[in-house]
Each structure stands twice: as C-alpha cells, then as structure tokens.
Amino acid sequence: MRTKKKVFIGIGAFLVIMFVSVFVYTLLGGTLQKNKTITSNSGRDSAVTSPPQMSLPDYGKSEEAGSPTGVTGNAAQGTTNQDKIIGTYSMNFETLDFPKMIIDVTGLVTKYTGYIQSSSIYNNTSNDGKLYKYATYVLRIPKDKIIAFNAELKNFANVTTESSSLENVTKYYRDTEARLATLEAQQKRLNELYAQAKEIADIITIETRLNEIIYQIEMIKGELQYLDESIAYSTVYVNIQEVSKLTTGESIQASLGERLQLALKQSAELFKESMINFLILLIYVIPFAIVIGILAFFGMKIFRRLRRKAISPKNTDKSIDKGDEHKN
C-alpha cells in the first residue's frame, strides 16, 4: 500500500511540476503552437513587405518630416487636378479565416475595376505540425477609387500596420515632356536635312544622329507611359498573415472597467493556452512514460525476486550449518 501511495504521489508531483513549467513558459510568451509571422520561401521572417522605391529625381520632395496624409513636397501644400501624383499604400493584416480573406481581397479588386499585379502565398509549419499561411499582394487600383477601396479593405481583417505616400511628379513629368518635344523637333529638322543631303558623308552622319534621337524618343515615350500608368493606378501592397489569435492591446484611454475586462479575457486565454500546451506536452511524454513504467515494473519484480532468493530459509539454514561446522 505504501509503495502504491508513493507511486501515485510521485506521478501527481510530476504532473504538477510539468503543468507549472508549461504555465510559466506560456506566460513568458512561449507556445507549442507557432503564432508568428510566416517565413517566406527564402527562409527569412517577412513581417512587412516594403514597397520598392521609384528611381525618379527628387522633384517635389518635402524636407519636413510630418507631411499631412503622407503627401510629399508640393502635394503636402495642396494639389490640383492637373498635378501628377503617384499614390503608394501598404497594409499588413492578420486574420483567423485566411481562405475567406483571400476571396474578399480578390473580389474587392474586381469591384473597384483594379487588377492584381503580383501575388504569392507561402506555407510555414509550426512546432505542432500545423500550417499557417502568409500572402503578399501588389494591387493596382484606379486613383479616383483608392480611398473607398482602402476603407473597405480595412473592414476585412485586423490591420496591424499601414502606411501611405503621395509623390508629386508634376515637374518631372513636364520636364520629360519638354525633352520629348525638343527631340521630336530635332528629328523633324534632321529629316529635312536628310532630304536635302547629297554627299554620302553627310547622309551617314545624319542617319547616325537620327537613330540616336529616335532611340531617345522611344525611351522617353516609354518612361511617360510608365508614369501615366503609375499616376492613373495607385499601388497597394497587401500582406496577409494567418494567426490562431488576433493581436490585441490596451488603449491608453481605457477605463478601469475596460482594463479589468481585458485582463480577465487575457487571463482566460493564457489559461486556455497553458492547458493546450500541457495536453500537447503530455501526449509527447506518454509514450516515454509507458516504456519507462514497463521497464521499472519488470525491474522491480526482478529485484524483489532476487532479494527473496537471497533471504530465503534454505540459504539461512545453510549459512547456520556452515557456522556450526566451523565452530566444531
């Protein structure tokens, strides 16, 4: 009875120690179920996908750090309908229902007559073998619909971070147009000279110069076409993270009741997470405990059998007889 009681006390103490350890581990932020940003196929953490920077001259860039609504340069002081503005937006979401979020985003893009420039979806395996998904999108939305699009997009999931910038490229655009007009004027004049040229050397020189100007004209037209596309369609970088629990925080304006309610909610979630971790750890431990228990059981039986054999009456009698003979 005492042995069984000791065994039960040992098992109970082991379970209590294991649960307390798991609780402290969970309290310090650990979890056996990963709830982190999914790593991309390159193996790096990708919490935020930053939009690439356009290689344009620094026309209209502001030196002030706090330009309102993310507008740089002249755009921060007020824009007109004739201004050429390139809008870039970036939003990071976390969601509990990843498939629905993907469907909602693609449907919203179609609704606002935009298009998906590129997209990627990654899988990442957590410690418990569960797959969490992570998606990145580069969306192009008509500039006259971008405000309504962003407002509706934010209703689909929990927004963790967002940023925006408006770049006024009006001066650069006008300068590029002026360069194009100058080159086209040179091309027209060279064509006139080419028609009048009679010497072979003059003809070759004019043709060489014409080819150079035609190449520059095509390059500038392509640049203007790219600018027109960037101006007409704002770029939206969207990152979607699947999580098992949404990020929550306490507002600095929260009342005592709200803070107590949040603390109670977080305490319940912590206890729930601790129990999940404890059960998972227990499942990991059970096979080892069974094997160790079986080995201990048979080891104890063998030990008791050998001990009984050592103190059996026959052995005792033999030892007494040997003692008597030695005395005689």
Listing DSSP states for 264-328 in one string gives: HHHHHHHHHHHHHHHHHHHHHHHHHHHHHHHHHHHHHHHHHHHHHHHT-HHHHHHHHHHHHHHH-
Question: What's the predicted TM-score (pTM) here?
Answer: 0.59
Largest CA distance in the chain: 150
Beta bridge partners of 39: 45
CA dist., res. 185 & res. 182, Å (int): 5
Listing DSSP states for 219-232 in one string gives: HHHHHHHHHHHHHH
Q: State the pairing for strand pair 85-95/131-142.
A: unpaired
Q: Report the pLDDT value the prediction gives residue 74, as an integer from 0 to 100.
A: 40
Q: Report the pLDDT value the prediction gives residue 136, as an integer from 0 to 100.
A: 95
CA dist., res. 72 & res. 100, Å (int): 36
Q: Report the pLDDT value the prediction gives residue 309, as an integer from 0 to 100.
A: 75
Q: Which helix (H) or strand (E) holds 200?
A: helix 200-232
Report the candidate in 142, 37, 143, 154 with the shortest Cα–Cα distance to residue 105: 154
CA dist., res. 153 & res. 93, Å (int): 10
What are the boundaries of each domain within the chain?
172-230
Let me know: does 125 contact 131? Beta carbons within 8 Å: yes
Helices and strands in the chain: count of H runs, count of E runs: 8, 5
CA dist., res. 231 & res. 225, Å (int): 10
Let me know: does 163 contact 69? Beta carbons within 8 Å: no
Q: 258: which residues sit within 8 A by CB, 6+ positions away?
A: 250, 251
Report the candidate in 135, 137, 167 with the shortest Cα–Cα distance to residue 67: 167
Q: What is the pLDDT along the chain (328 residues), one digit of tens a residue?
A: 556 565 566 666 666 666 666 555 555 555 444 444 333 333 333 334 444 444 444 444 433 333 333 344 343 445 556 789 999 999 999 998 999 999 999 999 999 999 999 999 988 776 556 688 999 999 999 999 999 999 999 999 889 999 999 999 999 999 999 999 999 999 999 999 999 988 899 899 999 999 999 999 999 999 999 999 999 999 999 999 998 777 765 555 667 776 677 677 767 777 777 777 777 777 877 787 787 778 877 777 787 777 777 776 655 555 555 555 555 5
Q: 90: which residues sit within 8 A by CB, 6+ positions away?
A: 48, 49, 50, 51, 161, 162, 163, 164, 236, 237, 238, 239
Token couple for 77: 């002081």
CA dist., res. 246 & res. 95, Å (int): 7
